[in-house]
Amino acid sequence: MTVVDTTPRTEEVAALVQRWLKESETHPVEPAAQRLSEVLKDPNGLDFTVGFVDGVMRPEDLRVAGRKLADLAEITPTLLPGYLRAAIKTGGFWAPKLPGVVVPISRRVLRAMVGHLVLDATPSKLGPAIAKLRKSGNRLNLNLLGEAVLGEREAGRRLKGTYDFLARDDVDYVSIKVSSVVSQLSMWSFDEAVADVVEKLTPLYELAAAAEAKGKAKFINLDMEEYRDLDLTIAAFTSILDQPGLENLEAGIVLQAYLPDALGAMQHLQQWAAARRAKGGAPIKVRVVKGANLAMEEVDAKIHDWPLATYSTKQDSDTNYKRVLDWAMTPERLDAVRIGVAGHNLFDIAYTWLLAKARGVTDPSTSSGQAPVEYEMLLGMATGQAEAVRKDVGRLLLYTPVVNPAEFDVAIAYLVRRLEENASPENFMSAVFELASNPALLTRERERFERSLAGLEADRGVPAPHRVQNRAEEAESAGSQSPSTGTGFHNQADTDPALAANRAWGREILRRSVSTTLGEGAIAAARVESPAQLDDVFAAASAAAEKWAALPAADRAAVLHRAGAELAARRGQLIEIMAHEAGKTIAEADPEVSEAIDFAHYYAERALDLEKIPGAEFVPSKVTVVTPPWNFPVAIPAGGVLAALASGSAAVIKPAKLTQRCGAVMVEALWAAGVPRDLLALVDLGSRELGTQLVSSPIVDRVILTGAYETAQLFRSFRSDLPLLAETSGKNAIIVTPSADLDLAAADVARSAFGHAGQKCSAASLAILVGSVADSKRFERQLVDAVTSMRVGLPSDPATQMGPIIEPANGKLLKALTTLERGERWLVEPKKLDDEGRQWTPGVKTGVAPGSTTHMTEFFGPVLGVMRAKDLDEAIPPAERRRLRPNRRAALARLR
Ligand SMILES: NC(=O)c1ccc[n+]([C@@H]2O[C@H](COP(=O)([O-])OP(=O)(O)OC[C@H]3O[C@@H](n4cnc5c(N)ncnc54)[C@H](O)[C@@H]3O)[C@@H](O)[C@H]2O)c1
Ligand SMILES: N[C@@H](CCC=O)C(=O)O
């Protein structure tokens, strides 16, 4: 068989690009687009424009916007026309004094400047705008932008808005993404998340199917941004279309070529779609884009210490884009999966167009009337070039964001990305306006194209994903792997639930957690019933400590590193017992195991430091008692014990009563790593008196307590000379100032207040709203939406976000959950969900007065108090502020 090479030659591609560029010069340039492009060429251009959309357009508080405008006036781009520069300087001068006048005017100016990129959703404006754009013969893909989706209310609003768009006679194509229609997506509960998305989106697809039956085709494109949503989006998409009545509906999904996973995903979709076609169903369409949000993926990878999900170079992404298209654009494959080629890079478009011609896949199929390959661009971008391309390839599909003017700030994320694209020299868009007149730029882009094509020619195989973590496999091998001593410290990565193998591993752990017996044997064997027995434990520990302290630090460090490896190998067991005994969700328990492992390796390395001080002789404590709390029942006990061991001391650990099996499983891991049992003694005390003896015995050199402030006082009262390291109670507050992004602030407050049902000293137990934030309807609405949408339940259910409290609510917590003080009202009233009194929905009380019980008391449960403060001085009195470190004070000064 002869294989015909259909790959277009670079000369052909370059010639076509040249022709398009020449033709594009005959089209008038949109003045606003031209101006924006010029601004972005200025060295301050990107900072100015991004600062403007983020700092002047976004804040609700006009005074904040006014101050930002004044700051930005200092870096006005010199490439702006003189009259605009003068206007900005004047505006900047007056903005802090007259923000109510100046800010709205400047916002109008910017809106006009970017108006060609985003449509106004006002009904009276949308229809004419759509009609005007469609006159060009192009088709519009409408995407409704909105506030961040923190809860079901906003998710419902977004879905309804999109439904209403699609129901219009002048709309036949919409885009929507899974994370905007379901607010509480957790990859740990993947199957439930898919079911949720399918349930929410099906009516939209039914609307399209009904229109199709009437001969008026309507198209839904399922968008995708975050890597974690890749599997979910594909599963939801195929599940929706598998439903009876939707077999003949053509619909689309996006794949992002900057993910090495894209070709594998394309092949999976092709297989599924081919089977659907074989049964007489409609084809699907895949829109191939380069990527949606690289910066977000980089942050996600850094935060979790996961490999970057995307390629790290633009060239690799460009190659993969061609790899996916090269594979997908054959007549047989296009019968089941039509392709949308999305992008503005003229070389890539020319390449694809020539490839389509060479493979004979340019003409619409006679059965569907649809082109097998469509070309897709963004509204308002490089309109002259788009027009030149359109003349060759036929109708374009324009991605068209739509936003309500009152919520224009939500277009910010979209705009910032567009602005960055336009400004970054890595991107083709930065060259768009000069390509025709600047041969050097054209050469740069041609060379980039050639390099990416060479990458394809070198490798047409299916790339492996970057993220491959598999806890099930690690568990079998991790025990034997211990990092070598002296190699430095590196944080342990949490488990990545975006990966199917990890999700299956997690589900199995939660299934076992319901009736686990882990730790039972160890804690039974640790029972101490008499003072003499406890004395024996101390004596054995003291003797073991002498041998341990005599070891070279490197030997102690090696044991601690092995302890880290053992903890890692038992990650599943530790999560299992935390879910069972402490009510921790897997999303909370998994990072806690990482923290415990980190303690092992961190302290192993610190042990080495003890021998590094010339002339100093280190004299360790012999017996250290560790008394941890129940709320971090693995990491905190591990931290105390490992620190003691690293310093050459023995450790006697008495876990908190409510979570002693968690402590026992952690200790078993350390024993398995080679920590001698008498050096690390686990005790469960039979009486209160033994507790007093544990802390006050003269043989004890040091006590490490994490717990209530009152407990620290009690310990001190047992023995006044006790060397006590105590980390105690906390009443933690989040202060939200008017310059904050209110959507993000609401999300952070809700997550911090109700993670582990608020049972953390670090939980946001108070939200202090400064100035205008206290009256912001949006902040309140978003906070309430986030809080009321949280899924409360048992940790054995992977969909649970907030588990039960440790024991039935009583005392100060019960009072806080059920009563209000003077001036307070429920923003969200908590409800008891079980007879026992352990499961409560989260509660938010507002109107909290300074000095009240809600202000001053640590409730340690799912209640958030909301207070208002006139200004930052009231929120953090200057006397308090002076105690902060200078960099913190400086940061606060900037906030205002
Ligand atoms: N500052 C931090 O880093 C931090 C971290 C976690 C928890 N906490 C605090 O811990 C508290 C919740 O934990 P908790 O309820 O387990 O605290 P707790 O003070 O009741 O108990 C802490 C530890 O002390 C032991 N203990 C208490 N009384 C004792 C006695 N008479 N004799 C011997 N041992 C005794 C307990 O058994 C437990 O092991 C909250 O106040 C929280 O803020 C602080
Ligand atoms: N290290 C804990 C603080 C412990 C407070 O209870 C946290 O991550 O919140």
- The percentage of the chain sitting over the pLDDT mark of 70, rounded to a whole number, equals 97
CB atoms < 10 A from the CB of 314, how many?
18
**pLDDT tens digits, one per residue of 600-613:** 999 999 999 988 88
The rounded Å distance from CA 646 to ligand 1 centre is 23
Ligand 2: atom nearest CA of 631 is 6
Cβ contact 258:294 at 8 Å: yes
Flag whether pLDDT at 1 surpasses 70.
no
**pLDDT tens digits, one per residue of 577-598:** 999 999 999 999 999 999 999 9
The whole-number average pLDDT for the span 446-453 is 95
Flag whether pLDDT at 477 surpasses 70.
no
The whole-number average pLDDT for the span 699-706 is 98
The rounded Å distance from CA 307 to ligand 1 centre is 37
Give the model's pLDDT for residue 738: 95
Give the model's pLDDT for residue 432: 73
CB atoms < 10 A from the CB of 823, how many?
12
Among protein residues, the one with the nearest Cα to ligand 1's atom 14 is 629
- CB 860 less than 6 A from any atom of ligand 1: yes
**pLDDT tens digits, one per residue of 492-512:** 999 999 999 999 999 999 999
**pLDDT tens digits, one per residue of 656-678:** 999 999 999 999 999 999 999 99
Q: Tokens 């439930």 correspond to what residue?
A: 192
The rounded Å distance from CA 186 to ligand 2 centre is 22
Mean pLDDT: which of 5-14, 432-441, 557-566 is highest? 557-566
Flag whether pLDDT at 192 surpasses 70.
yes
**pLDDT tens digits, one per residue of 747-798:** 999 999 999 999 999 999 999 999 999 999 999 999 999 999 999 999 999 9
- CB 629 less than 6 A from any atom of ligand 1: yes
Give the model's pLDDT for residue 492: 94
The whole-chain average pLDDT of the chain stands at: 93
**Assigned token pair, 300:** 């996600």
**pLDDT tens digits, one per residue of 537-568:** 999 999 999 999 999 999 999 999 999 999 99
Task: Write out the catalytic residue numbers.
Answer: 727, 761
| Top-confidence residue, 607 or 424 | 607
- List strands edge to edge, sheet with 650-653: 680-682, 650-653, 623-627, 702-706, 724-727
Flag whether pLDDT at 717 surpasses 60.
yes
Give the model's pLDDT for residue 59: 92
Of 10-14, 44-48, 100-104, the one with minimum mean pLDDT is 44-48
Among protein residues, the one with the nearest Cα to ligand 1's atom 10 is 707
Q: Which helix (H) or strand (E) holds 650?
A: strand 650-653
Flag whether pLDDT at 224 surpasses 80.
yes
- CB 857 less than 6 A from any atom of ligand 1: no
Cβ contact 305:493 at 8 Å: yes
Among protein residues, the one with the nearest Cα to ligand 2's atom 9 is 762
β-pair partners for 403:
120
Give the model's pLDDT for residue 616: 83
Of 185-189, 339-343, 411-415, the one with minimum mean pLDDT is 411-415
Give, in order, the Cα–Cα distances in Å from 513 to each of 39, 193, 572, 837: 59, 22, 10, 21
Ligand 1: atom nearest CA of 656 is 39
217 Cβ partners below 8 Å, 6+ apart? Answer: 172, 208, 211, 250
Give the model's pLDDT for residue 429: 72
C-alpha–C-alpha distance, residues 813 and 391, integer Å:
70
**pLDDT tens digits, one per residue of 792-850:** 999 999 999 999 999 999 999 999 999 999 999 999 999 999 999 999 999 999 999 99
Q: Which residues of 186-205 are buried (b: 16+ CB within 10 A; e: fewer)?
A: bbbbbebbbebbbebbbebb
Q: How confident is the model at residue 694 (pLDDT cuts 50, 70, 90)?
A: very high
Q: How confident is the model at residue 37 (pLDDT cuts 50, 70, 90)?
A: confident
CB atoms < 10 A from the CB of 267, how many?
16
The rounded Å distance from CA 762 to ligand 1 centre is 14
Closest by CA position to 755, among listed 808, 716, 792, 807: 792
Give the model's pLDDT for residue 482: 67
Among protein residues, the one with the nearest Cα to ligand 1's atom 17 is 707
Q: Which ligand is nearest to the CA of 763?
A: 2
The rounded Å distance from CA 706 to ligand 2 centre is 10
**Assigned token pair, 556:** 């102690």
**pLDDT tens digits, one per residue of 314-350:** 999 999 999 999 999 999 999 999 999 999 999 999 9
Flag whether pLDDT at 478 surpasses 60.
no
- CB 633 less than 6 A from any atom of ligand 1: no
Question: Counting every residue, how long is the chain?
Answer: 896
Ligand 2: atom nearest CA of 592 is 8
The rounded Å distance from CA 482 to ligand 2 centre is 27
Ligand 2: atom nearest CA of 760 is 6
C-alpha–C-alpha distance, residues 616 and 247, integer Å:
78
Flag whether pLDDT at 2 surpasses 60.
no
**Assigned token pair, 847:** 């109107």
**pLDDT tens digits, one per residue of 641-659:** 999 999 999 999 999 999 9
Q: Which ligand is nearest to the CA of 860?
A: 1
Among protein residues, the one with the nearest Cα to ligand 1's atom 30 is 691
The whole-number average pLDDT for the span 160-174 is 96
Q: Which ligand is nearest to the CA of 652?
A: 1
C-alpha–C-alpha distance, residues 59 and 740, integer Å:
8
Which residue among 594, 711, 754, 762 is best mutated to probe the pocket of ligand 2, counting the most ligand atoms within 8 A of its Cβ?
762
Please give the distance of CA 512 from its chain centroid, rounded to a whole number.
28
Which residue among 594, 632, 659, 734 is best mutated to probe the pocket of ligand 2, counting the most ligand atoms within 8 A of its Cβ?
632
Cβ contact 180:155 at 8 Å: yes
The rounded Å distance from CA 216 to ligand 2 centre is 57
**pLDDT tens digits, one per residue of 844-875:** 999 999 999 999 999 999 999 999 999 999 99
Indicate yes or no: pTM above 0.90: yes
Q: How confident is the model at residue 50 (pLDDT cuts 50, 70, 90)?
A: confident
The whole-number average pLDDT for the span 234-248 is 97
Give the model's pLDDT for residue 480: 47
CA end-to-end span of the chain: 73
C-alpha–C-alpha distance, residues 574 and 672, integer Å:
14
Closest by CA position to 705, among listed 626, 621, 645, 641: 626
Q: Give the DSSP letter string of 291-345.
A: -S-HHHHHHHHHHHTPPPSS-SSHHHHHHHHHHHHHHH-SHHHHHHEEEEEE---
Of 52-61, 229-238, 569-578, 785-794, the one with minimum mean pLDDT is 52-61
Flag whether pLDDT at 367 surpasses 70.
no
